[in-house]
């Protein structure tokens, strides 16, 4: 049996963007990929943002099984080995820990939907973010991951961050 490819999505609060990404990847290809998400300790919320819940529900994608958590939980050596860490909030990049196993890193920058926006706008933008993430993740799951040059896969995953 082939090892599942571990992907960790990182955003500041782990309540919206990273939750959308985790749920979407788990929905698209749960057999090949193991998706997790986390946020910056001290910034993480205790529950999923209602806009994330609504966006996932409208797309027929189930919520992740775990509530939001900090990256300190995932950065422990035995916690969740990752092949890729995809950062969705560029402000968290310099603060992130050294991830065990030296996973490949990529930045897929998305704006913080919760900074000063009214709830109706957040709900709309959450759906748009989910559509964008889904496009990128569909391309990610279509990439050949086994038996190819790791640097080529790394470049492809990073290049997905420039997709609009």
The model's confidence at residue 109, banded by pLDDT at 50, 70 and 90, is very high
User: Is the pLDDT confidence value at 1 over 70?
Assistant: no
Residue 59, classed as helix, strand or coil, is: helix
100's tokens: 């065990």
For residues 115 and 15, the model is more confident at: 15
Is the CB of residue 5 less than 8 Å from the CB of residue 15? no
At 117-141, the pLDDT tens digits run: 898 999 999 999 999 999 999 999 9
* Calpha distance 18→68 (Å, rounded): 9
Spatial distance between the Cα atoms of 80 and 65, rounded to a whole number of angstroms: 15
10-28: average pLDDT: 97
Contact (Cβ atoms closer than 8 angstroms) between residue 45 and residue 7? no
Which tops the pLDDT comparison, 102 or 26? 26
Task: Give the number of residues written for the chain.
Answer: 164
Lowest pLDDT segment from 6-10, 123-127, 147-151 = 147-151
* Mean pLDDT over each residue of the chain, to the nearest integer: 93
pLDDT interval class at 78 (50, 70, 90): low
2 pLDDT band, cuts 50/70/90, is low
Quote the percentage of the chain above a pLDDT of 70: 96
d(CA 101, CA 85): 11
Q: What digits encode the pLDDT tens for the residues 27-73?
A: 999 999 999 999 999 999 999 999 999 999 999 999 999 999 999 98
**pTM given for the model:** 0.95
């Amino acid at each position: 049996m082939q090892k599942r490819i571990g992907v960790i999505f990182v955003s500041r609060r782990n309540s919206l963007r990273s939750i959308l990404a985790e749920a979407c990847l788990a929905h698209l290809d749960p057999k090949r990929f193991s998706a997790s998400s986390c946020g910056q300790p001290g910034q993480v919320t205790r529950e999923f943002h209602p806009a994330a819940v609504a966006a996932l529900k409208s797309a027929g994608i189930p919520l992740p099984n775990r509530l939001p958590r900090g990256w300190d939980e995932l950065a422990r050596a035995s916690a969740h080995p990752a092949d890729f860490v995809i950062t969705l909030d560029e402000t968290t990049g310099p603060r992130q820990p050294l991830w065990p196993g030296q996973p490949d890193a990529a930045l897929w920058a998305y704006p913080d939907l919760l900074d000063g926006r009214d709830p109706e706008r957040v709900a709309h933008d959450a759906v748009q973010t989910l559509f964008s993430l889904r496009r990128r993740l569909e391309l990610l799951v279509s990439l050949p991951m086994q038996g190819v040059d790791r640097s080529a896969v790394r470049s492809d995953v990073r290049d997905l961050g420039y997709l609009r």
